[in-house]
Each structure stands twice: as structure tokens, then as C-alpha cells.
Amino acid sequence: MKVHDISLTLRQRMPVYPGEPTPLLEPTWQMERGDFCNVSRLTIATHTGTHIDAPLHFLPGGTPVDQLSVDVLVGPALVVEMAVEQEITAADLEAAAIPPGTERILFKTRNSRLLDDEDFRRDFVYLTLDAARWLVERGVRLLAIDYLSVEQMDAQPNVVHQTLLRAGVVIVEGADLRQVAPGSYLLACLPLKIEGADGSPVRAVLVEM
């Protein structure tokens, strides 16, 4: 059984969405200073690295991350490579021949090359509104993409996020698919169970089936 870790390593020098803080790990107890063990304080935004957007992220009164159904976060998934330059449209999804009944889709795009850059890149591939509606209409329950947002930079209002989240689609952003080939896998993508949170970093893996 081969397991692919598709989680980005959380570190101080990593791309984060503009305006969000970078992770900070600070030692509070240190054995080298005479303490009996090592303990650290982690300061991190809820949408850092590979993370989940809960409905509360864009929908007032929406479901927080600790109330997401776990069965959505674990199960069969399809990695689909999208050779597009800027956006994924409904027409692109039709052309991808995604099998009916697919519930979890991870989009591998040219974004994967951007993950090596320590600075945030605004020219990432994103989903259009008609693509979001296409996924909702076909019963997709979880969508992942290989950069820090599923929606065009500075989109106002955030209709792609809202369309997906309102329909109960779990959004996973920042999936590291650089070493993963297109195909079928078993996905496990579990957030921290933070009460009332709008999102959470995840440790996500794909298991070859």
C-alpha cells in the first residue's frame, strides 16, 4: 500500500494568502534550558497551508469545521489533471470525462509549480462560477485544488466559495499534488476539531487503491 502525503509543511517561510500571518512556532519549555520536556506555542491562521474551508468561512451562521461530517473527509477520490492556463470552466470539466457519481475530486493544475515559491502568487488557476455549479449539480461532496484559493484573486463577491459551501461541498485548498499521478485513490483529509472555527489546517493523504 503506497500512501502519498499531500499536505504542505507548515513553516515560517511559506506562501500565505495576503493579509494572513505566517506560522510561528515558539518554544515555551526547553530541555536545553533545564525544563523537564520541550513544549511549544503554535500561532497559525485557520487557512494556512493545506486546509479546509468550512461553510462558516463565507456564510454567516454556516457550519463550523468541528461539525463537518467526517464521512465526507474520508473516502474514494479522483485526482484530475487540468491542463488549463488560468481558469477551470464547466466546459473543461465536461471535457475531463469525470465518471458520474464521483464525490471527491482533487484538481492538479500548473498551480503545483507555484508551491515552490515562498511568496504568494496571484496568477494561480481557479474555478469559475459555472464550474462550481457543475460540481454541485453532479453531487460532488469534496473539492480540492493545488493552491491557496479555489476562487479568482480579489473576486467580489466570493460567489464560487459561496456556491460550493452553500451546497455543502467541502473545499480543500493548498493540496500538494506534485508527486501524485492522476487517478483513483482513497482520501483521508482531517482537520483539527476546533470548536466554532471557520476552517483548519489538515493532514491529508492519498492511498493508492
Q: How far is CA 10 from CA 2, 6, 24, 78, 79, in A?
A: 23, 12, 9, 25, 23
Show which residues are catalytic. 57
- Secondary structure (H, E, C), 116-184: HCCCCCCCCCEECHHHHHHHHHCCCCEEEECCCCCCCCCCCCCHHHHHHHHCCCEEEECCCCCCCCCEE
Q: What angle do CA 7, 10, 187 make, to 5 degrees?
A: 15
